[in-house]
Amino acid sequence: MPSLLPIDIARVASQSFALPDICVRIRAMLDDNKSNLEDIGRYISLDPSLSSKLLKLANSPLFRFESQIDSLPKAINIIGGEALYNLVMAETASSAFEHFSSDVIDLKRFWLQSIYAALVAKHLAKMVKIRGSERFFLLGLLHNLGELLVALQSPDLAIACCNYDEKTSPWKLQQQVLGFSYANCSAKLMEFWHLPSQLYVPVMDLHNENKALKNKDVAIIYTAARAGIAMADNQLYSASQLISPLVLKFLKLEQEDLQDAVKFASMEADGVLGVMNPSLHQPL
């Protein structure tokens, strides 16, 4: 068994790509009762490029507002501070994906799997009526970041982990090859970035079905991650094949609800991919 550990991989990655100051500052402002949304808006407006990208995300299928959001103050007032923080983190995730890109894996598949999982997670969170569904978009987006980390630090092992098939799922093969899953690496990096525990803990547990049967956050990301895999490799898997009906039952969802979430993600992924990574964007 290789002597790699998720914490070591994540530590190296955190030294290579530190969380941008703006993410740290906005988190601190949200946690400080003396700061308000106007303060956050003024701070973000100092970065015109980020402001532009946040407006594009606010007008994307993630929110489906009836009218165009044409200014940062309007976006902040409508979506709120926590949702804004999650959008800033989503943009940071996009930058991290670019930073850690490796040619030993299929980057188009990686991006699609991540976007699909993010959209399914957000849709399921709304169905289950959990507040702050944008947080689940971020969970889905970041859950497989560990694949890029392993690909950069141990490319041969990452290539071996790509050889999954109908009988051996990707996360089971990762466990066999690495002794852990990519999600474990993702969660450890999120922890090194000092993200709130409600972001990294569900990712750490997402392949633990027992945890998914006890915790709604874990159940949603468990379901979304598997749906993302099935959608990205639809010739190998279907979502219903990878997702335990017991987890859906725990969430009080039916197969039809899962199909609706998959359909939503399939319809909207191309548009979101275009906003987040124009260089990779092409019609699906």
> Which range marks the domain in which residue 199 is found?
1-17+104-284
SS3 label, residue 247: helix
What confidence tier does 68 reach under pLDDT thresholds 50, 70, 90? confident
What letter represents residue 15's amino acid? Q
Are 65 and 171 members of one domain?
A: no
Does residue 19 have a pLDDT over 80? yes
Highest-confidence segment of 39-43, 100-104, 228-232: 228-232
Are 186 and 274 members of one domain?
A: yes
Domain at 167, CATH number: 1.10.3210.10
What letter represents residue 192's amino acid? F
Mean pLDDT over each residue of the chain, to the nearest integer? 88
Q: Give the mean model confidence (pLDDT) for residues 199-216.
A: 95
Which of 42-51, 60-69, 78-87, 177-186 has the lowest average pLDDT? 60-69
Q: Which pLDDT score is estimated for 283?
A: 45
Distance CA 194, CA 21 (A): 12
Are 272 and 195 members of one domain?
A: yes
Using an 8 Å Cβ cutoff, are 232 and 262 in contact? Answer: no
Q: pLDDT above 70 covers what percent of the chain? A: 95
Q: Which pLDDT score is estimated for 263?
A: 94
What's the chain's Rg over C-alpha atoms? 18
Q: Which pLDDT score is estimated for 87?
A: 82
Are 74 and 167 members of one domain?
A: no
The model's pTM:
0.89
Measured between its terminal Cα atoms, the distance across the chain in Å is 38
Exposed/middle/buried for residue 43 (C-beta within 10 Å: 0-12, 13-18, 19+): middle
Are 118 and 72 members of one domain?
A: no
Number of structural domains found in the chain? 2
Distance CA 79, CA 30 (A): 14
Q: Which pLDDT score is estimated for 1?
A: 45
Of 187, 189, 256, the closest CA to residue 225 belongs to 187
